[in-house]
Amino acid sequence: MSTVQIVFLFVGFMILLAAWMMVSRSNLVHSALWLVVALFGVAVLFVLLEAGYLAVIQVLVYIGAIAILMIFAVMLTRGDVESLTHITNRYAGWAAVMGAFLLFGLVIVLGQWPAFQTTSPEAIESANPVLDLGMAFVSPDGFTVPFIVASVLLLAAFIGAIYAAFPRKKGE
Amino acid sequence: MIPLSWYLILAAALFCIGFYGVLARRNAVVILMSVELMLNAVNINLVAFWRYLNPNDISGQVFAIIVFAVAAAEVAVGLALVISLYRNRKTISVDEVDLMKW
């Protein structure tokens, strides 16, 4: 077993452990911190996949922004103690069964797919993959339209978020 | 090297943990966090497919970045709704938010 495989197994185990701790802890701040661990593990996987730019974006956007936003939301909603003492609803058992079935189904379906047996990746020919990614976003025959649509989506979502969270007077 | 199947199985397991979190937890913030886990599992898959099956076409990474943008938009709107909900109802337990349930 090569070093890369050992690193992968360690990181994969860490991700799954952190994810499980995240969904099963009753202390929400601990949940948010376990989420940070899981997201960081995914960033390490991106490095293993030679997608360095995505790893940086993962740390910046997910850990730097989304996880911190989650912690803010946890702290702003601390008065709700009932959801802390009974952390799961009455369908939790069914949810676990469905999750296990989904996992088995996915593994069985994936196992029948020929590309599942791929063991080693092809070499990347490009000398500067980050430059290629940037060019793909701005060149007219690349992905300019999806890029602009994503920007408009973010702008609309943030305006909507400000509107939804803005305090309103009674009767308005 | 690492076989592609390891990434796919890890992503499937992560997705299923997120799926369980969305269905089983009562706290709306934890549900949003579980959705983030599911989106991350999808992203692992996208990047692994790009790397193993078609590494000289950049579109796999582009797709992953679009998923990042959508995840950021989703979490911003979701948390705004949670905070608005908490302000109006003093609860963020999704069991008790059944105003629109027929």
Q: How confident is the model at residue A77 (pLDDT cuts 50, 70, 90)?
A: confident
In chain B, residues with a C-beta closer than 8 Å to the C-beta of A65 are: 72
Query: What is the domain count for chain A?
Result: 2
- For A124, the closest of B2, B6, B56 (CB atoms) is B56
- CATH number for the domain harbouring residue A34: 1.20.120.1200
Asked if the structure places residue A110 within a domain, the reply is no
| Nearest Cβ partner for B16 among A74, A99, A120 | A99
**Best residue of B10, B35, B87 to probe chain A, by most A CBs closer than 10 Å:** B10
Domain encompassing residue A135: 125-172
| Whether residue A80 has pLDDT greater than 70 | no
DSSP A57: H
Which among B13, B32, B68 has the least Cβ separation from residue A103?
A: B13
Token pair belonging to A18:
């952190």
Mean pLDDT for chain A?
87
Residue A112 inside a domain? The answer is no
Going by pLDDT thresholds of 50, 70 and 90, the confidence category of residue A128 is confident
Residue B96 within any structural domain of the chain: no
Q: Which residue has the tokens 């990434």?
A: B7
Say yes or no to pLDDT of A171 above 70: no
What's the domain count of chain B?
A: 1
Choose among A19, A45, A111: nearest Cβ to B37. Answer: A19
Q: What is the pTM of this model?
A: 0.91
A158: pLDDT confidence band, cut at 50, 70 and 90?
A: very high
CB contact under 8 A, B72 and A79: no
Residue in A closest to B13 by C-alpha: A103
Does the CB of B9 have a partner CB in chain A at under 8 Å? Answer: yes
How many cross-chain Cβ pairs, A to B, lie less than 8 Å apart?
259
Compare all CA atoms of chain B with the CA of A2 and give the residue at the minimum distance: B1
Among all residues of chain B, which has the CA nearest to that of A156? B73
Based on the domain organization, do A73 and A138 belong to the same domain?
no
Q: For residues B45-54, give the mean pLDDT.
A: 90
Q: What is the mean pLDDT of residues A42-68?
A: 91
Cα A33 to Cα A75: distance, rounded to the nearest angstrom: 13
How far is the C-alpha of A138 from the C-alpha of A51, rounded, in Å? 19
Higher pLDDT, A89 or B87: B87
CATH of the domain at B45: 1.10.287.3510
Residue in A closest to B91 by C-alpha: A80
Answer yes or no: do A15 and A70 share one domain: yes
- Among A12, A31, A136, the residue with its CB nearest the CB of B62 is A136
Chain B nearest CA to A98, separation (Å): 8
Cβ proximity of B3 and A119 under 8 Å: yes
From CA A54, how far away is CA A56, in angstroms rounded? 5
Span A153-172, mean pLDDT?
Answer: 84
Query: Alpha-carbon distance A161 to B75, whole Å?
Result: 9
Q: Give how far A14 is from chain B: nearest CA, Å.
A: 11
B99: three-class secondary structure by DSSP: coil
The reply to whether A77 and A13 lie within a common domain is yes
Inter-residue contact A14 to A37 (CB < 8 Å): yes
ipTM of the complex: 0.91
Q: What SS3 state is found at A168?
A: coil
B83 and A96: CB-CB below 8 Å? no
Q: Are residues A77 and A129 in the same domain?
A: no
